[in-house]
Amino acid sequence: MDLGLAGRVHVVTGGSRGLGYATAAALVGDGAKVVISSRDADSVAAATDRLNELGAATGGAATGVVADLGSADTALRLADAAVENYGRLDGALVSVGGPPPGTAASATDEQWRGAFETVFLGAVRAVRELGGRLAAGDGGAIGLVLSSSARSPITGLGISNGLRPGLAMVAKDMADEFGPRGVRVMGLLPGRILTDRMRELDASNPAAREGALAGIPLGRYGEPEEFGRTAAFVLSPAAGYLTGSLVAVDGGALRAL
């Protein structure tokens, strides 16, 4: 199936590794152009090179920007980079690193404030600013990478449990606001996907990994590429009647509707 991504341009925050990179690779693999961002210059440069190698065969391409989603000007800088390099902006995947592990009660005020500034406010600002730059009626789409904790708490991730449900409702609210302009907003809820962060969490609590596997109907963790292909579809014109939805990518682990 042709997703209609060829020639379209997307911003992907947190795009140098993990779920962000997997999505950028899926987009470029279908002929899209991407502007990826991350705080680490070396990671951005290496990921951009890999994506451009992939795009050589598909017509896709990538530009990297070193940026922190917690900074007030980041979203506009990324939108400007898309237009300056590729002449347009069609959508975005807003992905940020997960907050530190620990229970909600054990997290300090500083940890809560730091996570709120980046994970919550940074994401809200990015959707607001990038959504405002998408042309009306042109099939623009924005996806927020959230977590299955938006629907059911995850043991040991108290800050995530506190912030992700709020972002899920923000996605629905903005979908209502942007919908009349033809701009779609969705949330993606990854479960246990085999990223570097997931490996770190498992290493700190091996027993939790066994318990998690037992609760996944497919009996395995997901691969980042599986998430990336799902996200690329959600952002594509092929999913043009999908908005305000929270799409779980979790192997069936969530028991809530």
CB of 19 within 8 A of CB of 48? no
d(CA 117, CA 121): 5
Cα–Cα distance for residue pair 255/225, rounded to 1 Å: 24
Give 165: exposed, middle or buried? Use CB within 10 Å, 0-12, 13-18, 19+. middle
User: How many CB atoms neighbour CB 223 within 10 A?
Assistant: 13
pLDDT of residue 96: 82
Domains and CATH numbers, the chain: 9-249 (3.40.50.720)
Chain mean pLDDT for the chain:
94
Q: For the segment 182-222, what is each residue's pLDDT rounded down to a tens digit?
A: 999 999 999 999 998 889 888 887 777 888 899 999 999 99
∠ CA 247-29-3, rounded to 5°: 55
Q: Are 78 and 35 in contact (CB under 8 A)?
A: yes
Token pair of 46, please? 């290496």
pLDDT of residue 208: 77
Q: How far is CA 55 from CA 24, 29, 42, 135, in A?
A: 11, 6, 20, 25
Q: Is the pLDDT of residue 252 over 80?
A: yes
The answer to whether residue 257 scores a pLDDT higher than 90 is no
Q: What's the pLDDT score for residue 202?
A: 84
Q: How far apart are the first and last CA of the chain?
A: 28
Nearest 10 degrees: Cα torsion 105, 109, 115, 121: 120
Q: How far is CA 197 from its chain centroid?
A: 14
Do the beta carbons of residue 256 and residue 152 sit within 8 Å?
yes
What confidence tens digit (pLDDT) does each residue in 67-102 have? 999 899 999 999 999 999 999 999 999 998 788 889
Q: How many percent of the chain have pLDDT more than 70?
A: 100
Among 69, 186, 194, CA closest to 131:
186
In the predicted model, is pLDDT for residue 231 greater than 80?
A: yes
Res. 65 pLDDT band, cuts 50 70 90: very high
Give 149-182 pLDDT, tens digit per residue: 999 998 889 999 999 999 999 999 999 999 999 9
Question: Over pLDDT 90: what percentage of the chain?
Answer: 84
**pLDDT at residue 256, as a whole number:** 81
- The single residue listed with the structure tokens 């799409």 is 247
pLDDT confidence of residue 24: 98
- Would the pLDDT of 42 be above 90? yes
